[in-house]
Chains A and B, each alone.
Chain A
Amino acid sequence: MADPKDIYEQRESVEDLERQLTEIKKLSPGDESEREIALLQARIDRVKREVYSKLTPWQKVQLARHPKRPYTLDYIQDIFTDFIELHGDRRFADDHAVVCGMANFHGQPVMVLGQQKGRDTKQKIFRNFGQPKPEGYRKALRVMKIAEKFGRPIFCFVDVQGAYPGIDAEERGQAEAIAHNLREMSRLRVPIVVTITGEGGSGGALAIAVGDVVNMLEYSVYSVISPEGCASIMWRDAAHAETAASALRLTADDLKELGLIDTIIPEPEGGAHNNPKQMSESLDKQLQKDLEMLKRVPVDQLTDRRYEKFRRMGQFFEDASAHSAQSS
């Protein structure tokens, strides 16, 4: 059974080998040691390839939730300049699980937004464990409308376990807030580039993910329900989460294959948290490419194109009448 612990254990064995290698390199040069160095290096490469090329969907879920994984504010800091945060939904409150603001992207004014998780306990509570309430989604839409008004592109970063399931969230219309965002985002008259950076948790993710381009980081996941949630419903036992993770087809490769996303952005070896700078650089490159492409699309075509993009999703059905008509 592939246990999530395995990734870390196997990583440790890689580190162990690397330590041995540096030790040998320190020794005086000679034919003997050179051969040993070459052998060790080959072994390290092989183990690394093995570990990261064969990650199971459940292990990818673990990487997507890694406590050191870069969050939205990290990417904003690395990729954008002059970020000014905008707060509040003008109706009820400022939701700290969603951050939004104006920024500069390679000299161009843009709107950026995304869900934000916390790192330590205090921050986690402040960010409500990265689970937005209706006011978070309403804030996001409010700033997107500002971007539309002034003709600025929008960048969304998605990393959310799910919209907050609580009494207050229900009272203020969690479902309505999400539904409203879906409809309005589909007809905003500016380019929208979406990137799933960590967890793409169901409606809570989609509510800021109706874009012209939807990217996923290599080890991010995007699903209609969490593997734990699926397991407790279908198997009546959350312990089946690993099986559920495979059944749900939630990895970037799966979504690409199903035609639901556009580009998979490769992560540094071992995941984004191993080299956040490198991650930001490749994300930055992709975002530039996407924006350049979208800027060439006239506004009227842009919304049509976005509508068609989502309209095509899920042509997975049979029309029995068409079959019988053909055969007769």
Chain B
Amino acid sequence: MAWFKKEKTPIVSVEQKHVKTEGLWTKCASCKQIIWKKDLAANLNVCPKCNFHFKVGARERLEMLFDEGAYFELDADFASNDPLHFSDTKSYRARLKEAQKATGLKDAIITGDGKLGGRPTLIQAMEYRFIGGSMGAVVGEKICRAIELCIVRRSPLIIVSVSGGARMMEGAISLMQLAKISAGLGRLDDAKVPFISVLTDPTTGGVTASFAMLGDVNIAEPGALIGFAGPRVIEQTIRQKLPAGFQRSEFLLDHGMLDAIVHRKELRPFLIQSLNFMQAA
């Protein structure tokens, strides 16, 4: 005879047992602390306990950086026309539509025209929720236009990166954006107009291998994953576990690839001070 008897009550899925706290609380991915969302937002989306930097949307980012959070959006309506008619498990067009609906953006970057410390500045922020912040022809074109405008106006350019790299669904076209943007930055450099690159979690692949590493000053938020090849690819290639902290901001600073790691709270003053050094007010 069995000592234990199976209970008659059906097994309830874990999800149903959850208390609905959606929309009010969130858990820090790093220290597991439960944080009230309003507290988090008030703290620039940085965990008040452990200083873990949560991802920030492109619009929030621009509001955080510009004076009074005010800016004018440029080239807002550029959208990809799916040049390769690419389709994997889902068509690229469907993916674009989905991302556009989820983010309210047409592609993975916003160009903001406003003032930073009183100085007319263009700031471009990438949006990770838009197909992993990937760079295709639209991102390439928007950055090149921003560069050209900055050259004409002699006003600084700041790009806040968060991206998985080039957008696979645009094939070699997205690859050529690396060359196109880098060539543009060569001209910006020749014109002696400041360019500051801000790398945030994560910045990898073709974005790191082009504009994100070409700033007069390259700075990163703490703990951001930054690299050329993704950690999974490297692990598969060398068949070894990667060292702790590999490809994080602190690792890159140690290896001489960054000028500084800047806490989100310090970002605005850091940028203003750097621009004051680079350009007369």
Contact = CB atoms under 8 A, between A and B. Distances in A.
A156 to B, nearest CB: 13
B255 A210 contact: no
B172 A203 contact: no
Interface string B75-103: 11111110110111100000000000000
B189 to A, nearest CB: 7
Nearest to B140: A314
- A-B complex: 10 closest residue pairs judged by Cβ atoms: A165-B229, A186-B183, A182-B182, A314-B137, A234-B88, A175-B208, A316-B83, A320-B77, A175-B228, A321-B77
B246 interface: yes
Given A172-B255, A173-B257, A316 B183 contact: no
A255 interface: yes
A307 interface: yes
A182 B84 contact: no
Interface in A79-116: none
B234 interface: yes
B183 A310 contact: yes
B243 interface: yes
B249 interface: no
Contacts of A316: 80-81, 83, 137, 170, 173
Interface in B172-230: 172-180, 182-187, 189-190, 205-206, 208-214, 227-229
Given A247-B87, A310-B179, 7 more contacts: A173-B256, A176-B213, A203-B175, A222-B172, A313-B177, A318-B79, A320-B79
Contact of A247 (B83, B86, B185): B86
Interface string A113-149: 0000000000000000000000000000000000000
A206 B174 CA distance: 12
Contact of B182 (A186, A234, A322): A186
B138 interface: yes
B130 to A, nearest CB: 14
Contacts of B209: 174-175, 178-179, 182, 203, 207
B84 A179 contact: no
B242 interface: yes
Contacts of B180: 310-311, 313-314
Contacts of B173: 258, 260, 313-314, 316
Given A173-B257, A318-B79, A165 B137 contact: no
Given A174-B228, A183-B185, A311-B184, A225 B168 contact: yes
A169 B209 CA distance: 13
B186 A314 contact: no
B77 A167 contact: no
Contacts of A307: 183-184, 186-187
A306 interface: yes
B234 A170 contact: yes
A163 interface: yes
A43 interface: no
A170 B257 CA distance: 10
A233 interface: yes
Contacts of B178: 178-179, 182, 203, 206
B171 interface: yes
Interface in A163-197: 163, 165-167, 169-176, 178-180, 182-184, 186-187
B182 A174 contact: no
Interface string A235-249: 100000000100111
A202 interface: yes
Contact of A182 (B83, B210, B242): B210
A301 to B, nearest CB: 15
Contacts of A223: 171-172, 175
A180 B209 CA distance: 8
A247 B212 CA distance: 28
Interface string B54-94: 00000000000000000000011111110110111100000
A173 B76 CA distance: 33
Nearest to B174: A224
A319 B184 contact: no
Contacts of A233: 168
A230 interface: yes
A279 B117 CA distance: 60
Given A247-B88, A314-B176, A167 B184 contact: no
Contacts of B83: 258, 314, 316
Contacts of A206: 175-176, 178-179
Most buried by B among A175, A230, A306: A175
Contacts of A163: 228-229
Nearest to B82: A316
Contacts of A179: 178, 182, 208-214
Contacts of A76: none
Nearest to A222: B172
Contacts of A326: none
B129 interface: no
B172 A186 contact: no
Contact of B186 (A187, A229, A260): A187
